[in-house]
Amino acid sequence: MSLVSDSAEFATGGTASPRYEPSIASVGDYLSLMKPRVMSLVVFTALVGIMIAPGHIHPVIGFTALLCIAVGAGAAGTLNMWYDADIDAVMTRTSSRAIPRGRVAPGEALAFGAVLAAFSVGVLGLLVSWAAAALLAFTIFFYVVVYTAWLKRSTPQNIVIGGAAGAFPPVIGWVATTGGISLEPCLLFLIIFFWTPPHFWSLSLVRADDYARARIPMLPVVAGMQETRRQILLYSAVLVPVGAAPWLLGYAHVTYGVTAVVAGAAMVALAWRVCSEPEGERGGRAARRLFAFSIVYLFVLFAVLLVEDGLGVFIGRAA
Amino acid sequence: MDEKRQTIVLSEEQKRRRRMRSIAIALALGALVILFYVVTLVKGPGVLNRPL
């Protein structure tokens, strides 16, 4: 962020010094660096982790945990945009982001992301739990260093392994409430982990040219469209039992079980449609439909867990 | 030795955006102060008890 005064002076000596450009970034530009749409899903899954965990957490402490997880996710998104500014500039989907558009300087984005990361981890540790803070720090590290800087540009399995970063928020929420980890948050982790490949690859089917232009080894670019469709179907099929696991293992009620099985079947049906439709406009439409439904799928599953837990508390109090 | 000095004069739009950024930072810091204050009240003497 700029600290230049209204009429700042600076000296130009014999050596060429870089020309200072006053920042033209608005508050909205900085907020856009935090990937608010991704953040909303992170906040929701973390909220479910906080709420369904056994034990009591004071609403203010719970809100603080949620705020820190949201800001931590924003920090990871900002650092991702800083590192990926070069490829964002050549991809149609991302070329209008704040850094490639020249609204925020790369150095400003780096500083903004680093400050957000430090504050989110520090505040979570000081006010809630150092175990949750350590997990949040690891999540930011995993997303920025392991996924963004390493895997994304080197392997078509980038979003499979990197997807773990998006699967941590409900676990962090759980740890914030209980102070420890058990099987239930691991199941929530696995649901998001196996949900990520069909979600992301359905988008990459439509944007394959973009990724190829940016030299990102996404699965459709490296292995081809047909192999990507096959992998989408495979992961969608695995997602059905994984999604139903909280019910199968007795951690959720039958409402969740029915929802998970029906929504999982719909996911597989849409993935099958992606597989069977020919390439071109119809194939693209099927992929977009799967991408949109996958967001609904994750939201519905976690929402039912939240509602079941809320009803359980309500019934418990009424009894 | 003479030094050639240049002056940057911000446009009205740049000044307006800088003002908005400054307000946003002030609000964020204010919110952080309130958050720490409220959590201190909620936790009471246990505010220093931060188990792993």
Output the pTM of the full model: 0.89
Tell me the pLDDT tens digit for each residue of A34-73: 999 999 999 999 999 999 999 889 999 999 999 999 999 9
Percent of chain A with pLDDT over 90: 86
d(CA A42, CA A1): 26
For strands B4-7 and A9-12, give the pairing: antiparallel
CB atoms inside a 10 Å sphere around CB A39: 20
CA distance to partner chain B, nearest, from residue A169 (Å): 18
pLDDT tier, A164 (very low <50, low <70, confident <90, very high otherwise):
very high
pLDDT of residue A277: 83
B7, B8, B35: best mutation site toward chain A, by most A Cβ within 10 Å? B8
CA distance to partner chain A, nearest, from residue B1 (Å): 10
Tell me the pLDDT tens digit for each residue of A206-231: 999 999 999 999 999 999 999 999 99
Q: Which of B21, B33, B6 lies closest to A12 in space, CA to CA?
A: B6
pLDDT at A14 over 60: no
CA distance to partner chain B, nearest, from residue A131 (Å): 5
The B-side interface with A (CB below 8 A) comprises 3-10, 13-15, 17-18, 20-21, 24-25, 32, 35-36, 38-39, 42-43, 50-52
pLDDT at A251 over 50: yes
Q: Residue ranges of the alpha helices (H) in chain A?
A: 27-33, 36-52, 59-83, 85-90, 106-127, 130-141, 158-167, 169-178, 183-206, 208-213, 219-222, 225-248, 254-276, 281-318
Report the pLDDT averaged over residues A97-118. Answer: 96
d(CA A3, CA B8): 12
B32 to chain A: closest CA residue: A123
pLDDT at A89 over 60: yes
Directed axis angle between helix A183-206 and helix A281-318, to 10°?
Answer: 160
d(CA A297, CA A181): 25
- In chain A, which among 257-316 make CB contacts under 8 A with chain B? none
Tell me the pLDDT tens digit for each residue of A132-156: 999 999 999 999 999 999 999 999 9
CB contacts of A13 in chain B (<8 Å) are 3
Question: To the nearest whole number, what is the mean pLDDT of chain B?
Answer: 86
Helix (H) or strand (E) holding B7: strand B4-7
How many A/B residue pairs have CB atoms within 8 Å?
79
pLDDT of residue A21: 76
pLDDT tier, B4 (very low <50, low <70, confident <90, very high otherwise):
low
What CATH number does domain A27-179 carry, 2.60.40.10, 1.10.357.140, 1.10.620.20, 1.10.3720.10?
1.10.357.140
Q: Which of A255, A122, A188, A22 lies closest to B18 in space, CA to CA?
A: A22
A20: left (phi over 0), alpha (psi -120 to 50) or beta: beta
Exposure of A292 by Cβ count < 10 A (0-12 exposed, 13-18 middle, 19+ buried)? middle
Tell me the pLDDT tens digit for each residue of A165-208: 999 999 999 999 999 999 999 999 999 999 999 999 999 999 99
- More confident call, A199 vs A9: A199
pLDDT of residue A10: 39
pLDDT of residue A213: 93
| Domain spans in chain A, listed from the N-terminal domain onward | 27-179, 182-211+223-319
pLDDT at A314 over 90: no
d(CA A165, CA A58): 27
